[in-house]
Structure 1
Amino acid sequence: MIEKLTLQDIIDRIDQVRERSPRLLGYRIIKDEELADAVAHLRTAFPEQVRNAYALLEQRDALMADARRQCGRMIEEGQHSHDDLVADNEIVRSAAAERERMMTEVVAARKAAEQQADEYSLKMLEQLEQILTRLAETVKASEMQFHVEEKDDETRTPETEH
């Protein structure tokens, strides 16, 4: 059974496997089972992290749609209240003031909800970007290590090995 790990945990595990591996003639000997386990974790966690980011975006969109529906309903309620009170001048002024107050509250609530949703989504996307950047850096470092070791092997001659 594969345990639940974050991408960062998996990257750290791959890096530990690489660092713990013995070196032989400029190459690292990595246990196939350890590497296969880390790759299996990566394959299962990466899509989940991406799905989580998409789910956050969908939640944000749902929150914004709900806020818009509530705004529409509140505006409609305010308009009905206003229409009912048009008969009396004093009541009309009071209703207009209440309507303006409600509109201000609605606009402020909508902006606050959108800002919170955007901040949360941005935070999650930034975390995902950091994880992906770290993964890319680890892969590049491993490639560079491999190429350096390969170059060292090519530059060795029988005379330099004695």
Structure 2
Amino acid sequence: MAIYGAVRLDKLQAVYSGNISSVKSALEVDNGRVVVAGSLVSGQRELYNAATPTAVATDEILLVASPEVTYEAGAGILDFTNKAGKPARAYHLTVGDIVTVTDVNIDGTSVVDQYLIPVNGSDKLAPSATLGTTRFVAKVISKGTLYGQAATVYKVVKV
């Protein structure tokens, strides 16, 4: 089986204050990836169309982190992905939130005390030595492992 991205919500204000959206994407989306919430899905009042960021200077970035439910015998967290066309959970991030993601969710190699920023056309955050001009920026605070995979811990510094 393929190894998908995983996420751990270390310290998220949304977990306590409920700033969470339901999104539906036309593509599979791993936990720990980033999306933007577009228009409401036709006929729905709380389910938004999710897409990869296309205007990172202005788009609000949401973190995909659904409960990992697998139905195959022996499947675990790293075997889970949010299926295309099905609702997923996406968190509105706040300055100070701390998140751990497996490194498959990052487009490149993250470096402690540097930054992660969204990139137009990608659902992965990318390493950056500077804050840049994106609306969302996270600072890498440590490296480690998550579910046996290389992982990055980041703190949101700009939303």
Q: TM-score when scaled to structure 1?
A: 0.18
Q: Which has the higher strand share?
A: 2
Q: Which has the higher helix share?
A: 1
Based on CA coordinates, which of the two structures has the bigger radius of gyration?
A: 1
Q: TM-score when scaled to structure 2?
A: 0.18
